[in-house]
Structure 1
Amino acid sequence: MEITFKANKNINQEQLLKLYNDVEWYAYTNDMPQLQQALLQSLDVISAWDQEVLVGLIRVVGDGLTIVYVQDILVLNAYQNRGIASQLMEQMMTKYTHVRQKVLLTEEAPDVRHFYEKNDFESCDKGSLVAFAKFG
């Protein structure tokens, strides 16, 4: 298996549907035109491919100068635990090393904390940081 990475915001709707549904992110796939538009309007998108199959994706929003926000990072279940998400994260963070604030918000789930901490993110429940979010 050789995974290739592409910086491309225009990804086939069927490929996106398969990826997002595979990780059960149905809130996105309930409105596929909106998801495709969200990708197009994102600051950056890097996708991972096994030949012609979309196996992973990371997308960031922000200004690219003072803040980037990791909105999505996902990998097909069958391809997880192979370092693909870490490679996606590394590529994106390398591209934005000059940016002071790199932020993400995620649900607590098994191995989530470990993944982000090994990729140099710190939880806001530790140290002097505080995080707030408003949904809906």
Structure 2
Amino acid sequence: MVAYTFTRTPQVTDQEILGLYRSVDWTAYLQHPQNTLAALTNSTVLWATVDDHLIGLIRGVTDGHTILYIQDLLVNPTYQKQHVGTTLMKKMLDRYQNVGQTVLITDPEARTLKFYESLDFLKITPQTYGRAFVLERRF
């Protein structure tokens, strides 16, 4: 059974966290692992575990009132297609249900678009909402 908690348990080690990022090939997060771990410490994280082993997480950055930015949502491939990602997102959105706007940036894959649209996220286009801008400094 999957357990969800906003508190990192002692059993979830730094190596297990980095292993989760590795399992989904998010290599940018592994280039400077200390930055990834610090980012998690300074964010709101919902952890998904099975028998005290990390299987997924969602990370949000928020002021708690007007904006919630979803930065990371990842699930170990062994547990994908079992509604873990959906549950992580719904629990994060429930926690911040009074926040006016939730945004995220993700890859352009069709399955990713389908996933977020199933959760009522809208794809931003200049005609529907406005423009989105990114200044990338990780590379």
TM-score range, shorter chain: over 0.9
- Percent identity reads 34
Q: Distance in 2 between matches of 1:8 and 1:29?
A: 23
What are the Cα deviations for residues 17-46 of structure 1, in whole angstroms up to 9, with x where unaligned? Answer: 11000000111112222111111111x100
In 2 relative to 1, CA 9–132 (structure 1 residues): closer, same or farther, beyond 3 Å? farther
In 2 relative to 1, CA 9–130 (structure 1 residues): closer, same or farther, beyond 3 Å? farther
Q: Confirm or deny that 1:34 pairs with 2:35.
A: yes
Write the mapping of 1:14-29 to structure 2, written as runs, cut at 5 A: 14-29=15-30
Question: Cα distance, 1:9 vs. partner?
Answer: 4.7
| SS of residue paired to 2:131 | coil
Q: Is contact 1:58–1:74 with CA below 8 Å preserved after alignment?
A: yes
Q: Confirm or deny that 1:90 pairs with 2:75.
A: no
Deviates more, 1:45-54 or 1:28-37: 28-37
In 2 relative to 1, CA 65–91 (structure 1 residues): closer, same or farther, beyond 3 Å? same
What are the Cα deviations for residues 65-84 of structure 1, in whole angstroms up to 9, with x where unaligned? Answer: 10010000000011101000
Q: Is contact 1:19–1:56 with CA below 8 Å preserved after alignment?
A: yes
Counterpart residue number, 1:7: 6
What are the Cα deviations for residues 74-96 of structure 1, in whole angstroms up to 9, with x where unaligned? Answer: 00011101000000000000011
Unaligned 5+ segments in structure 1 are: none
Deviates more, 1:7-16 or 1:107-116: 7-16
Q: Distance in 1 between matches of 2:36 and 2:8?
A: 11
Unaligned 5+ segments in structure 2 are: none
Q: How many residues align?
A: 134
Q: Distance in 1 between matches of 2:112 and 2:65?
A: 27
TM-score, normalising length: structure 2 = 0.90
Q: Distance in 2 between matches of 1:75 and 1:110?
A: 18
Q: Distance in 2 between matches of 1:24 and 1:105?
A: 17
TM-score, normalising length: structure 1 = 0.92
Computed over aligned residues only, the root mean square deviation of the Cα atoms, in angstroms, reads 1.4
1:60 corresponds to which letter in structure 2?
Answer: G
Structure 1 segments (4+ residues) deviating >3 Å: none
Q: Distance in 1 between matches of 2:37 and 2:136?
A: 21
